[in-house]
Amino acid sequence: MNVDLLLDWYGINKRELPWREDKDPYKVWISEIILQQTRVKQGLDYFYRLIEAFPSVEDLAHAKEQEVLKLWQGLGYYSRARNLRLGAESIVKSEKFPEDFKGWLQIKGVGRYTAAAICSICYNHKTPAIDGNALRVYTRVFALEIDIHKSSSSVFLFEKISEMLQNKKLDMGDLNQAIMDLGSSICVPKNPSCTSCPLKSECLAYQTGKTHLYPFSSKKIKTTNREIHYVFYQFQDLFYLKQRKQKDIWQGLFDFPEMAQKPVEDLELIHSQNHLLTHQRLQLSFWHKKIDSRAEFELIGEKNNYTVAQKNDLDKFPVPKPLADFLKKFVP
């Protein structure tokens, strides 16, 4: 693969992003965690708000989980936020950022791709960053019939690209970021812009007219339907929330108490909506239970260990996006 062609293209077309300015490992790490499951356009605002709230790794390490989750609200895959704070604690405890691939792999929430990206961008280590974009680009360029959903495929490509670049002098961070940018702008999953690609002259998939066959994947995402019936308890301007502590969707966030099935008692259905997650199609129903007695309200909370929230304080709690939308519309 002619990396010079790719790097020349990157020099002209690279995206101006805040974490690319000074190659600060803290900012690069934050950005890579955000971008694990998020597009750059959506992730930018979250990057800015996290850096503003926690300018240093020490600030992040000393933050409460609820603070981090609140800033992460709406981004999804909330384990990333929890792991980010735990990772900051580890870094502060060791008194320095890891400076090699193995060291970064010891940080909570950092896998092979993230470790490789950080090491190449910040320290120019020859660690190929193999994510979905890279898998797509490399399998098309080399016409590799490997299953991209097998971890062995990423390891295979890591070793193949490492060997290919072993004796080359180059900025590995720029190369990895060039692959990222190419995969997100030109070598996209459907209808790639092959005629604009700097690697078209040596891309085997393009030369043989088979770009649609790469990358190969044997895995199909299975989605299940799930009903959630929320009970919206209210006494004057007081409401009940509960924290989702089990290993399930939205772990660590707050939402309303749930009922196992559609309520049979006299409750008012005030809203229903569908919400799509990666593996689940949620059917959400919001049932209103207005309570006139403080004693009855407090008894319900004590019996179920619910969290009391005043109307003016609701925006302080990290909540799932559909709940945030509900509160904005029905509890303005």
Catalytic residues: 32
Three-state SS across 73-131? CCCCCCHHHHHHHHHHHHHHHHCCCCCCHHHHHCCCCCCHHHHHHHHHHHHCCCCCCCC
State how far the Cα of 149 lies from the Cα of 139, in Å rounded to an integer.
Answer: 13
Three-state SS across 261-321? CCCCCCCEEEEEEEEECCCEEEEEEEEEEECCCHHHHHHHHHHHCCEEEEHHHHHHCCCCH
Q: Are 223 and 279 in contact (CB under 8 A)?
A: yes
Count the Cβ atoms, other than its own, within 10 Å of residue 48.
Answer: 11
Phi-psi domain of 209 (left: phi exceeds 0; alpha: psi -120 through 50; beta: other) = left
Q: What single letter denotes the amino acid at residue 71?
A: L
Could you say which DSSP state residue 239 is in? E
Strand 280-290 vs strand 224-235: parallel, antiparallel, or unpaired? parallel
The residue with tokens 């580890």 is: 90
Q: Which residues 6+ apart lie within 8 Å of 192 measured at CB?
A: 140, 186, 211
Q: Are 242 and 306 in contact (CB under 8 A)?
A: yes
Q: What single letter denotes the amino acid at residue 171?
A: D
Closest CA to 170 of 332, 12, 8: 8
Please write down the long-range contacts of 154-158, taking CB distance under 8 Å and 24 or more positions apart: 154/112, 154/113, 154/130, 155/112, 157/128, 157/130, 158/112, 158/116, 158/127, 158/128, 158/130
